[in-house]
Each structure stands twice: as C-alpha cells, then as structure tokens.
Amino acid sequence: MSRARWVPLALAWGVLVVCGVPALAITFSRASASTDLRAVRLAAFTPFAIALYALCLIAILVLVWMAVGRGRTRFAIFAGVVALLLVVHLAWQAPLYAGSRETSAGEPLTVMTTNLFEGKGDPAAVVEAVRAQKVDVLAVEEITPEAFPKLSAALGDQLPYRVGQAAPGTRGTMLFADRPITKERKLETRMGSWVADVGEWRVLVAHPAAPTVAEWPAEQEIIRKAAAEEKPDLILGDLNASLDHHTVRRLLEAAQVHDAARASNAGWQPTWPTQGFAGIPLPPSAAIDHVLIGDGLVALATDTVEVPGSDHLALLAYLGTPAD
C-alpha cells in the first residue's frame, strides 16, 4: 500500500477510535438513565458528543471514498449509523437554541445563583453583579462563616432578608431576597438545601451531593420529591446535574417547571469548572447550575458571571410575570 493511501486510512481509523469510543460512552450514559457514577459524570458532557460524532462522520466518509466494492457499501451503512447518532444528539441540544420564547413580561424578577467554592469565591464580585443587575433573589452555595458577613454587610440594603446557614467547606447554603422570607424548611442534603416563601413566590434553593459520592442518586431524589410536594415557583442552585441527566428531567416533570436557559433560547451555558481539569486550563464544560421556573414566571434571558476564586460561574436569570 502506497504512503499516499496508507496515511489517510490510518488517520481516519485513528479518529474513529479516539472520537468514537468516548462518543458512544456518552450516548449510552445519557440514554440509559444509569445511576452508576461513572455514567453520571459522562452524561454531563453530552454536548461534546456532537463534535465527536461529526469528526467520526468525516473519518468514515474518507473511508467510503477510499473503499471499493462491498467495503464501500459497509462503510456507507456505518456512516448512516453515525449520522443518525449525530442527529439524535443535535435533537437533544436543539431545545436550548430554538423554540417558542417570551419576549416581554409584566413585573420583572432577576435571580442569581452562585457557588463560592468553599468560600474561596470573591464576595465583592458577587456584590458587584447583584448591584449592577438589580438582583431580587440570590442563592449562594458553599457560603462559609467567613464569607457570610462580607455578603451580609454589603447587601444589607438591597437584599435584607435571608434564610439558610453558612457552614465550613461545602455545606453552607443561603438565600438572600429583597422581600420577606417565611415558611422556610431545610431539606436533608449534605450540602444544604432550603425551601421557603419569598414574598409571593415559593422558592427551592438546592445543592445536592456531587456525582463523586455515593449519595448522589438519593439526594437527587430528595430534591425531586420536595419539588413535587412543594410545587415551587422557582428552583435555583447548583444541582450537580445537567439537563442531560435523567434526574433533572424527572425534576422538571415532577415539579412542572422549565429551565430558564432553555425557555429563553439562551443556548448551552456551561458553568463548571472554571479552573480546568487536573491543572489544565480549560473553559467550563458542564451546565450544572440552574434556574428553573414554574408557569407563574417567564424567562426572558440568562447569562453567566465570573466570580474570581470560585470554580463555578454564577448564573443570572432575567424573569418576569406573564405579560397581560
């Protein structure tokens, strides 16, 4: 075999192996609704399978072009299978970009959720965003006793009401608001979750366990059950799961809520990790921070905000009541 023919063949097969294996693993993890933590972690990266399958399709088309006889037919069938898998993944992600959306609303409501990464996130950046965006409701995960007074003092005039607990490490979760908070109840997640009335809205701020510990499935179920019982108007927080996890899809159905980013056609907005993997600087790659809304609210837009020191981007959602 000549070098001119051998090199593209080797490259094509190399791409199929390097891209095809993780792509198939991601597809299985997303489709299987598995609670195996390895599959759970893979499902968080479902959007990347689009690029992986696209590269596989290009590689197979090279093989089709270079093959002869029955080999070309077999590769063409293989290309059809990969194209189908690519279409499936595109269909899974399409609702984030296309669909009906509200363009106007009545009374505005701006909410924000931020994970301070064991209190290492800069409170000044959170305060700046809250003031600049006129945030009405703020959820803070991993808020420590050291970070709490800084936020409390700076936001006392804008968000004077609060519920929750600051705690060392990852266990502190609090809710700040510009209107009275009543009827609060703590949910039994290891990192703190709360449900409360914020003015006229029933709000659930959630921070279940990460998919690196055995409690992940149980705590996802705690949030789902609480949401099904309480029927909150607003759920926000670090869910440690994306829309590609079956637990979040079940939560949406049980609580009859909608993802604000998807409802506003904001597209894929990954929020974690801002500090890369294993010391390698990479952009955020998992959309695990959420604002979910009931039918009494509409989503106009969502955006992310950098919080220096944190491994999460904060998530802002511009909401409102349905327009008359």
Say what the pLDDT of residue 2 is. Answer: 56
Contact 255, 42 (CB under 8 A): no
The mean pLDDT value for 168-192 works out to 96
How confident is residue 226, by pLDDT bands cut at 50, 70 and 90? Answer: very high
Say what the pLDDT of residue 69 is. Answer: 77
Q: How crowded is the C-beta side of 8, counted as CA atoms within 13 Å? A: 13
Reported CATH class of domain 105-322: alpha beta
215: left (phi over 0), alpha (psi -120 to 50) or beta: alpha
Give the start-end residues of each E strand in 64-172.
105-115, 137-141, 161-165
The mean pLDDT value for 208-224 works out to 97
Model pLDDT for residues 62-82, shown as the tens digit of each residue: 998 887 678 788 989 999 999
* Percent of the chain residues past pLDDT 70, beyond the cut: 98
pTM (predicted TM-score): 0.94
Contact 178, 156 (CB under 8 A): no
pLDDT at 1 over 90: no
Model pLDDT for residues 104-125, shown as the tens digit of each residue: 778 999 999 999 999 999 999 9
How confident is residue 60, by pLDDT bands cut at 50, 70 and 90? Answer: very high
pLDDT at 320 over 90: yes
Model pLDDT for residues 138-150, shown as the tens digit of each residue: 999 999 999 999 9
CB burial readout 257-275, b (16+ within 10 A) else e: bbbbbbbbbbebbbbbbbe
Contact 194, 175 (CB under 8 A): yes
Give the position of tokens 């390698």: 280
Q: How far apart are CA 26 and CA 40, in angstroms?
A: 9
Say what the pLDDT of residue 71 is. Answer: 79
